[in-house]
Amino acid sequence: MMIVAEEKKSTYRDYAAPQRANAVDTVREFYRLNHQNQTHDFVLNKKAEYLGFNRTTMTPWAALEFLNTLVDDSDPDIALPQIDHLIQTAEAMRANNEPDWMVLTGFIHDIGKVLCLFGEPQWAVVGDTFPTGCAYSSKNVYPEFFALNPDSLRTTLQTLLGVYCEKCGLENVHMSWGHDEYLYHMLKAYLPLPALYMIRFHSFYAWHRENEYQHLCNAQDDEMKPWVQRFNPYDLYSKNPNRPKLSDVKPYYEELLAKYLPTELKF
């Protein structure tokens, strides 16, 4: 089964499940570090540091192979390497006859986690994302940890709009730094707009699941939100302990990568 049964969906993103106590402790500590350290200035500095894409070049496959070594500390649902999750996500889309650009998006949406290869700690790479530079929503996961963030003491950053204007558009919002933002900027010249929204905002659960931060959204965001919501069940509910075989599907994804992306990407 590509997507879990409806009755099992409530067990996903359950951050208090007693049967997964060790995993949940790890996730809780992850979000303590994430919420404490992801300040507005930190985000601006990371954008300046990384969005020049002058570190190295890699084929998409080389980046995917690196993900074989990475287990996401922010995920309470699965402890498989990231490449397995990507194949599960993409194959679920493929089975449902989604557009090929969306299948590709499912296959590559976490490639930005190669930031870990450059020495970034996981709290600066993975996990739910949130806007910086304005008041935090209580619908973010583990919102109590925002009290540890120095920005919580900056009154100008804790109003509803903060440094932004009403309906400014998510394009103009500085989200917490991580693989989503990094990969979006890397691929924005190659993929259609719905795919870019899926990549950039798939971890922004407070927005696409809880309908928070609407005061920052413009008409384009409202139009694209259903695409992110369409993407989310594949990303979340395709996770299961059965490891897919990359060798079985690799020829299909090699062809798909060649159709949409250059032979090498700048990182």
Query: Alpha-carbon distance 180 to 18, whole Å?
Result: 30
Structural domain contains residue 170 = yes
Supply the pTM of this predicted model.
0.87
Query: Alpha-carbon distance 256 to 107, whole Å?
Result: 10
Instruction: List the end-to-end C-alpha distance of the chain, in Å, as a whole number.
Output: 35
HSE-CB for 49 with a 13 A CA cutoff: 12
Q: What is the pLDDT of residue 130?
A: 98
Token readout for 189 is 């010249």
Length of the chain: 267
| pLDDT, tens digit (0-9, with 9 covering 90-100), for 182-214 | 999 999 999 999 999 999 999 999 999 999 999
Do residues 15 and 141 make contact, with C-beta atoms less than 8 angstroms apart?
yes
Low-confidence ranges of the chain (pLDDT < 50): 1, 3-15, 19-21, 77
Alpha helices in 96-178 (DSSP H): 100-108
Q: What is the pLDDT of residue 13?
A: 43
Structural domain contains residue 241 = yes
Token readout for 109 is 């949406």
Query: Alpha-carbon distance 62 to 152, whole Å?
Result: 40
Token readout for 251 is 């020829």
Do residues 133 and 162 make contact, with C-beta atoms less than 8 angstroms apart?
yes
Structural domain contains residue 69 = yes
User: Residue 4 has what DSSP assignment?
Assistant: -
Token readout for 42 is 């930190």
Would you tell me how many other CB atoms lie within 10 Å of the CB of residue 56? 13
Structural domain contains residue 267 = no
Burial 98-115 (b: 16+ CB within 10 A, else e): beebbbbbbbbbbbbbbb
Structural domain contains residue 156 = yes
Torsion angles phi and psi, residue 180, rounded to 5: -65, -55
The residue segments making up the domain with residue 229 are 27-262
Would you tell me how many other CB atoms lie within 10 Å of the CB of residue 180? 25
Domain count, the chain: 1
Structural domain contains residue 180 = yes
Structural domain contains residue 163 = yes
Closest CA to 231 of 264, 195, 192: 195
Helix 219-237 to helix 100-108 angle (10° resolution) is 70
Q: What is the pLDDT of residue 156?
A: 97
Q: Following CA atoms 109, 114, 119, 121 in sequence, which dihedral angle do they give, to the nearest 10 degrees?
A: 30
Q: What is the pLDDT of residue 77?
A: 46
Q: What is the pLDDT of residue 235?
A: 85
Structural domain contains residue 10 = no
